[in-house]
Amino acid sequence: MSLLCLTRRALLGMAVATILPGGIALAETTNVTFVLVNDSDKMAADDDGRGGFAKMASVFKAEREANPNTVVVHAGDMISPSLLSGFDKGEHIITLANMAGFDVGAPGNHEYDFGPENAMTQLSSAEFPFLAANIENADGSPFEEFEPTMMKEFGDVKVGFIGLAELTTAELSSPGDAIKFTDPVAAAAEQSETLRSEGADFIVAISHNSLPLNEQMVREGTVDLVLSGHNHVVWTYYNGRSAGLESGHDAMWIGSVDVTFDVTEEEGKREVEWSPNFRFTDTKDVEPDAEVAAKVAEYEATLDKELDIDVGTTSIELDSRRASVRGQETAIGSLIADAMKKAVNADIAITNGGGIRGDKTYPAGTKLTRRDVLTELPFGNRNVLLEMSGAQVKEALENGVSQIEEGAGRFPQVAGLSFSVDKAAEPGARVSDVMVNGQPLDESATYKVATNDYMAGGGDGYVVMKDGKMLIDSISAKLMANDVMVYIRDMGEVTAPDSARITIK
């Protein structure tokens, strides 16, 4: 960010009043900057130099120097999934978030990946508040661990903040049965009314929810500004009445919106008009904060000895990019499913593409390390074995492709079976030509199915798996990542699958 830019933007913090004869104030202008990070579980910069907490901290400092009226927001998903989180359950991320300097956040679904007790232990260690207006106890009573809202004042302007957790957290993660997640849009509407009655001029929703729900709040004017997480997209939205912003993921591009407030008072009537200016900071060339960078290096050093050990080589390119593993058969997905199938002597294996998290490619000839495997499989999931009917297997596959157009994490990566998908068909009627080890699926027969313990518990919509007979439960099961490491080591060299497994029409 250039010195000229910072000098120009330093004016944003000033309030400007026009004085009429007689000393009557016509209008006052106040500028507030909202800086957004979301979905930031990776502590270090990416291979291309973007992202990470050290660069994040530098951007925050520059924004605050440019405009003292700056609020730094995290819109959820920080303590998981990441490589080190598999060991410390997210403790290091909270330490780095405190050092970076957030002002307020909302819990994402991945905050619950290690259970509800760990979620509250880690989030209560944050030096900034987490808000959640749509979490309540299972009996409907208020959940007192999170405040639903907060208010901040900037000069003559009052800004209300509402936290909104992911509606489907119980399906996507492991929050337990003691709490439930309610409609975020309804919660935002209710809290907006309350905040307005308390004098709020401007309402901000910090919403870790699907993009359609966040867009709905903008379209309907439920709030003035939605700061969004969960979708891993770079997004802005403004319709002249309400606005929305999301900052991709892992602070590779940090979104900011400068909001200019013009407050007019005439004959006792107060009016507030506002307008937004959206900006994104590409962090590739941002100089990292030295103190935070040193802490990141300290954490990385603790992993090196154990993780930088080769387990094999790949003779083909492996693609774990988010769009790939959530929308099509991939060689790395097949590799993981093959390893799961072999480890428990299953007939077939089904694992969710959303559980593959490296978001990168490995060129042919790459030496694969324990670090690579754990980067791809950071959740600590276990490889369980179920007995399921052919009809249940078919239902599971239908669920897996039911949201293919949305890039949902439930998309199945498989072993021991093949099938076709008709994307134009209605969800629930898209799967055909299912073959199990070369034979047509028999819906009345039973099959041994390897899957991860998250899906076996109904995660990502795989509720049919909860009806399967548990042959190897999560207590007895081995870590998926370990099964994959052993499989690659036994292979020596990863090769291409013999034939296509998923045909998409």
Beta strand pairing call for 234-238 and 318-319:
unpaired
Residues 389 and 268 grouped into a single domain:
no
DSSP helix/strand/coil, 499: coil
Is 258 within 8 Å of 238 (Cβ atoms)?
no
State in Å, rounded, how far the first CA of the chain is from the last one: 47
Residues 264 and 197 grouped into a single domain:
yes
What integer pLDDT is reported at residue 7 of this predicted model?
29
Residue 317 in any domain: the answer is yes
What integer pLDDT is reported at residue 11 of this predicted model?
39
Mean per-residue pLDDT over the chain, rounded: 93
* Separation between Cα atoms, residue 74 and residue 91, nearest integer Å: 16
Please write the tens of the pLDDT for every residue from 31-65.
Answer: 999 999 999 999 999 989 999 999 999 999 999 99
Residues 328 and 445 grouped into a single domain:
yes
Residue 121 in any domain: the answer is yes
Angle between helices 184-197 and 211-219 (to 10 degrees): 40
Is 349 within 8 Å of 381 (Cβ atoms)?
no
Residue 198 pLDDT class (50, 70, 90 cuts): very high
How many domains does the chain fold into?
2
pLDDT greater at residue 119 or residue 114: 119
DSSP category for residue 406: G
Torsions phi, psi for 26 (to 5 deg): -85, -45
Residues 375 and 271 grouped into a single domain:
no
What integer pLDDT is reported at residue 4 of this predicted model?
28
Residues 33 and 144 grouped into a single domain:
yes
Residues 288 and 433 grouped into a single domain:
no
Please write the tens of the pLDDT for every residue from 287-331.
Answer: 999 999 999 999 999 888 878 899 999 999 999 999 999 999 999
Residues 290 and 319 grouped into a single domain:
no
Residue 262 in any domain: the answer is yes
Among 235, 266, 295, where does a domain finish? 295
Please write the tens of the pLDDT for every residue from 397-433.
Answer: 999 999 999 999 999 999 999 999 999 999 999 999 9
Among 241, 266, 295, where does a domain finish? 295
Residue 26 pLDDT class (50, 70, 90 cuts): low
Is 259 within 8 Å of 238 (Cβ atoms)?
no
Mean pLDDT of all residues in 263-281: 93
Residue 67 belongs to domain spanning? 3-295
* Separation between Cα atoms, residue 261 and residue 269, nearest integer Å: 16
Percent of the chain at pLDDT > 70 equals 95
- Report the candidate in 134, 280, 108, 131 with the shortest Cα–Cα distance to residue 210: 108
Q: In the predicted model, is pLDDT for residue 10 greater than 60?
A: no
Residues 277 and 332 grouped into a single domain:
no
Residues 335 and 265 grouped into a single domain:
no
Q: In the predicted model, is pLDDT for residue 71 greater than 80?
A: yes
Residues 287 and 373 grouped into a single domain:
no
Q: In the predicted model, is pLDDT for residue 463 greater than 90?
A: yes
* Separation between Cα atoms, residue 4 and residue 11, nearest integer Å: 12
Residues 274 and 325 grouped into a single domain:
no
* Separation between Cα atoms, residue 318 and residue 253, nearest integer Å: 25
Domain CATH number, residue 368: 3.90.780.10
* Separation between Cα atoms, residue 386 and residue 112, nearest integer Å: 25
Residue 370 pLDDT class (50, 70, 90 cuts): very high
Q: CB under 8 Å to 351, separation ≥6 — which residues?
A: 333, 336, 337, 340, 412, 413, 414, 451, 452, 455, 480
DSSP string for residues in 289-343: PHHHHHHHHHHHHHHHHHH--EEEEESS-EE--HHHHTTS--HHHHHHHHHHHHH
Residue 332 in any domain: the answer is yes
Please write the tens of the pLDDT for every residue from 429-444.
Answer: 999 999 999 999 999 9
Backbone φ/ψ region at 402: left (φ over 0), alpha (ψ -120 to 50), beta: alpha
Residue 144 in any domain: the answer is yes
User: For residue 450, what is the enclosing H or E element?
Assistant: strand 446-452
Q: For the whole model, what pTM was predicted?
A: 0.77
What integer pLDDT is reported at residue 12 of this predicted model?
43
Residue 301 in any domain: the answer is no
Domain CATH number, residue 206: 3.60.21.10
